[in-house]
A = this chain, B = another copy of it.
Amino acid sequence: MTVSESSASLIQAKQDQTKFDFMLKYYRNLIVDLVHNYKGGHGGGPNGMAAIGFALYKYVMKYNPENPSYFNRDRFILSNGHTCLFQYAFNHLVGYSHMTLEELKSYHSAEEESLCPGHPEIEHPAIEVTTGPLGQGIANAVGMAVASKNLAATYNREGFPVVDNTIFCMVGDACLQEGPALEAISFAGSMRLNNLVVTYDNNQISCDGSVDITNTEDINAKFIACNWNVIDVENGSMDICAIVQALEDAKLSDKPTLINIHTVIGLSTPWENTAAVHGADIGAANVLKFKETVGIEADKTFYIPDEMYKYFSDIKPKGQAYEAQWNQLITSYEAAYPELAAEFQIKIKGELPANWKDYIPTSFPNADTPSRKSGGLVLNPIAQHLNQFLVGTADLSPSVNMIWPGKVDFQDPKKETACGLNGDYTGRYIHYGIREHAMCAIANGIAAYNKGTFIPVTSTFFMFYLYAAPAVRMGALMNLKVIHVGTHDSIGTGEDGPTHQPIALANFYRALPNLYYIRPADSLETAGAYEVAIEAEGYSSIISESRQNLVQYPENSKRDAVKFGAYVFDDFNIPDAKKDLIIIGVGSEMCFAMGSAAILRSQGYNVRVVSFPCQRLFEQQSAEYRHSVLMRQQMIPTVVIEAYAPNGWERYATAGINMKTFGKSLPGMVCYDFFGYNKEKIATKVDAYLKQIKDTPSVVYEFQDLN
């Protein structure tokens, strides 16, 4: 008998074996009824995955329905989020109090307060992450495995496994075709995250039909090539014991495990094993046929037999016992390791120490500095001292400047490599590889593990946050505090050319809810940007940094004003006089704003320069504050200078020096000049614009692209 064969869960499952047909058919009956109830939704998957759910929820997973956020719980992530009924139904059966049968019936309904939306949402109890866009969930699960590994390596001591949970993740055929999943799988294998178990609902059906229309790969061999452990389960629609054994085996592996579970989508319905059953109600007649096939009376709608509730009735006491046991462990841990335990409690609470801002330098060199360097000066001391920070990069360590003295890599300590590696699982610097999308999705998982325990920081060139955009968006949607550091912003990045020069990307992130896109103009503003990002509860942030040197404005720049989004940068000592012109400078283009403003002032114009690091923050200020900065209702000619597409600046400016084409491969300052970013050229254009308004005042009402 192997270790897994002697596991309590498998022994119990074997004892229960005679009940399985009954349990499975009533579970499937419930799914069929719920989808038919609102004539839509995704029932085929939950039906096919039923046995996997029994194995997980009844026998293997450790969790407590009385306390969905019990810290050491196993995590379950439904990467194929459209099958959410699977999870909702089990959450009902195991006794989560919020998930009543009535609540289940609100699936796909017009009920505004439903806890059963079309995809799982993190705001609801017993849901770890919001999923739906395929491939995200499995990458989130990898992030959770990273978080758990790091906590375990940092806080566990002999006899005190204070963190020893397992991350379970369900995927379907689709998730395993998506790029971010493939990146995350490769990463997880390379980091040997053996606390991660992926159950693959292998039904070989997707929307277009049989999966082999588009995918004929040997998925097991592919995972093995990626350093995963792979276990097959043949009769995955019914054989709960085999799934339990596979799950227990997986927990003993020294690698992450894929359990390839062969299932039948829409089992026992007339549409079984077809694409049709994936995302539609099977219709009244077929519902009846299903009931007939499995042997359930036609009138048994939303029917959950008492035996079923009884069968699951051990889950609550077991969950309470898990938590009680863990609480006891923590108590003795506190006695044995008081300092470590105190630190661990802070991590659980998700708080930063009150003095965290003390690590931010209060002044910076006056010499021209790239803001990617300023970013390092600000963040690295914080990351060095506060182990909440898990900082990583998509293979751009030499470029993004986020290495602190003595940083340790998050690494498999057993890895045998060609070159010396510095790291183990206590490490907090993550080499994500050239996998921007997975990086950000993994970071979401780290942040969602227990809100506040970790503040993940990702980094790459700003342009490549387009690769990662679906994950950045999901982080924002989930209100996760993740900080993304995008260096080499603007055309000022130079020679790499138009492929690397972002033109429209900031427009997306400025429009994205729950996200701060912050472009600091110099080191002081960079410090302010990190402060905002670190304090931003419910927001993800992108800090946008320059490759090239930036002029420093110690007289103008206000670290504490970044949080207002925009502020008066320079009034040239005549603050109260009527302005002829406002110039908005943004990020690395501030030098052109200040330079052209000085020329225009010398020509007699009364100019104000506004620094505008973050539109969303500015929108969150009072109308009074906003009026005090831009005086918008007075329609003072206002010119924004930014080497991005203008779209959206029209709210704040009447004209712009912006980009309406892609960039060009030229050295940074030459590239700027090529596109008209040159203080003299700008001053000339703005002067002409002001004269045009003098002649035809109505011109100011229509946004003018001056470039």
Q: Tell me the A residues contacting B by CB distance below 8 Å.
A: 40-41, 81-82, 108-110, 112, 114, 117-119, 121, 130-134, 173-175, 177-183, 186-187, 189-190, 204, 206-210, 212-222, 224-227, 275, 393, 395-399, 409, 411, 415, 417-419, 421, 431-435, 437-438, 463-464, 466-467, 469-470, 473-474, 476-477, 495-500, 503-505, 507-514, 615, 632-635, 644-648, 650-651, 659-662, 664-667, 670, 674, 696, 698-699, 701-703
Q: In the complex, how many angstroms separate the beta carbon of A478 from the nearest chain B beta carbon? A: 10
Whether the Cβ atoms of A189 and B216 lie closer than 8 Å is: yes
Q: In the complex, how many angstroms separate the beta carbon of A661 from the nearest chain B beta carbon? A: 5
Q: In the complex, how many angstroms separate the beta carbon of A541 from the nearest chain B beta carbon? A: 15
Whether the Cβ atoms of B433 and A177 lie closer than 8 Å is: yes
Could you write out 25 A-B pairs with CB less than 8 Å apart?
A: A112-B666, A112-B674, A117-B665, A119-B499, A121-B665, A132-B496, A177-B435, A204-B418, A208-B396, A212-B418, A212-B419, A213-B417, A213-B421, A214-B431, A214-B432, A217-B226, A220-B225, A473-B504, A503-B512, A508-B511, A615-B647, A632-B702, A633-B698, A634-B698, A635-B701
Whether the Cβ atoms of B512 and A504 lie closer than 8 Å is: yes
Q: Which residues of B contact A204 (CB under 8 A)?
A: 418
Whether the Cβ atoms of A206 and B662 lie closer than 8 Å is: no
- Chain B: which residue is nearest A181 at the CB level? B179
The CA-CA distance from A632 to B190 in the complex, in Å, is 58
Q: Which residues of B contact A225 (CB under 8 A)?
A: 217-222, 225
Whether the Cβ atoms of B651 and A130 lie closer than 8 Å is: no
Whether the Cβ atoms of B467 and A466 lie closer than 8 Å is: no
Whether the Cβ atoms of A497 and B701 lie closer than 8 Å is: no
Whether the Cβ atoms of A207 and B647 lie closer than 8 Å is: no
Q: In the complex, how many angstroms separate the beta carbon of A508 from the nearest chain B beta carbon? A: 4
Q: Which residues of B contact A660 (CB under 8 A)?
A: 513
Whether the Cβ atoms of A415 and B212 lie closer than 8 Å is: yes
Q: Which residues of B contact A469 (CB under 8 A)?
A: 466, 469
- Chain B: which residue is nearest A467 at the CB level? B470
The CA-CA distance from A183 to B85 in the complex, in Å, is 28
Contacting residue for A210 out of B226, B418, B508, B696, CB 8 A: B418
Whether the Cβ atoms of A224 and B221 lie closer than 8 Å is: yes
Counting chain B CB atoms within 10 Å of each CB, the highest count among A41, A409, A511, A634 belongs to A511
Q: In the complex, how many angstroms separate the beta carbon of A223 from the nearest chain B beta carbon? A: 8
- Chain B: which residue is nearest A669 at the CB level? B110
Q: Which residues of B contact A463 (CB under 8 A)?
A: 133
Given A207-B397, A504-B513, A661-B513, the answer on whether A435 and B178 have CB atoms closer than 8 Å is yes
Q: In the complex, how many angstroms separate the beta carbon of A465 from the nearest chain B beta carbon? A: 10
Q: Which residues of B contact A213 (CB under 8 A)?
A: 409, 411, 417, 419, 421, 431, 433
- Chain B: which residue is nearest A496 at the CB level? B118
Whether the Cβ atoms of A186 and B177 lie closer than 8 Å is: yes
Given A513-B504, A674-B112, A701-B633, the answer on whether A497 and B132 have CB atoms closer than 8 Å is yes
Whether the Cβ atoms of A473 and B466 lie closer than 8 Å is: yes
Q: In the complex, how many angstroms separate the beta carbon of A277 from the nearest chain B beta carbon? A: 12
Whether the Cβ atoms of B513 and A499 lie closer than 8 Å is: no
Q: Which residues of B contact A396 (CB under 8 A)?
A: 207-208
Q: In the complex, how many angstroms separate the beta carbon of A430 from the nearest chain B beta carbon? A: 9
Q: Which residues of B contact A632 (CB under 8 A)?
A: 701-702
The CA-CA distance from A1 to B187 in the complex, in Å, is 42
Q: In the complex, how many angstroms separate the beta carbon of A394 from the nearest chain B beta carbon? A: 9
Q: Which residues of B contact A438 (CB under 8 A)?
A: 179
Given A110-B670, A419-B209, A513-B503, the answer on whether A433 and B182 have CB atoms closer than 8 Å is no
The CA-CA distance from A508 to B661 in the complex, in Å, is 14
The CA-CA distance from A275 to B417 in the complex, in Å, is 16
The CA-CA distance from A667 to B661 in the complex, in Å, is 39
Q: Which residues of B contact A208 (CB under 8 A)?
A: 393, 395-398, 431
Whether the Cβ atoms of A499 and B398 lie closer than 8 Å is: no
The CA-CA distance from A68 to B216 in the complex, in Å, is 36
**Pairs A-B, 5 closest by C-beta atoms:** A179-B179, A132-B499, A117-B665, A214-B433, A508-B508
The CA-CA distance from A296 to B634 in the complex, in Å, is 71
Contacting residue for A648 out of B174, B177, B507, B659, CB 8 A: B507
Whether the Cβ atoms of A511 and B500 lie closer than 8 Å is: no
Contacting residue for A119 out of B419, B510, B665, CB 8 A: B665
- Chain B: which residue is nearest A697 at the CB level? B633
Contacting residue for A651 out of B395, B511, B650, CB 8 A: B650
Given A206-B434, A397-B208, A632-B701, the answer on whether A464 and B511 have CB atoms closer than 8 Å is no
Counting chain B CB atoms within 10 Å of each CB, the highest count among A477, A509, A615 belongs to A477
Whether the Cβ atoms of A495 and B40 lie closer than 8 Å is: yes
**Besides the known contacts A504-B511, A508-B508, 6 further A-B residue pairs in the complex with CB atoms under 8 A apart:** A82-B496, A133-B467, A179-B180, A504-B508, A504-B513, A514-B662
Q: Which residues of B contact A648 (CB under 8 A)?
A: 507, 511, 647-648, 650
Given A40-B495, A207-B397, A699-B633, the answer on whether A227 and B222 have CB atoms closer than 8 Å is no
Whether the Cβ atoms of B174 and A110 lie closer than 8 Å is: no
Q: Which residues of B contact A219 (CB under 8 A)?
A: 225
The CA-CA distance from A108 to B215 in the complex, in Å, is 42
The CA-CA distance from A417 to B212 in the complex, in Å, is 6
Q: Which residues of B contact A633 (CB under 8 A)?
A: 696, 698-699, 701-702
Contacting residue for A177 out of B40, B173, B183, B514, CB 8 A: B183
Q: Which residues of B contact A175 (CB under 8 A)?
A: 434
Contacting residue for A217 out of B131, B227, B395, B466, CB 8 A: B227
Q: Which residues of B contact A178 (CB under 8 A)?
A: 179, 183, 434-435, 467
Contacting residue for A477 out of B110, B474, B498, CB 8 A: B498
Q: Which residues of B contact A108 (CB under 8 A)?
A: 495, 667
Q: Which residues of B contact A615 (CB under 8 A)?
A: 647
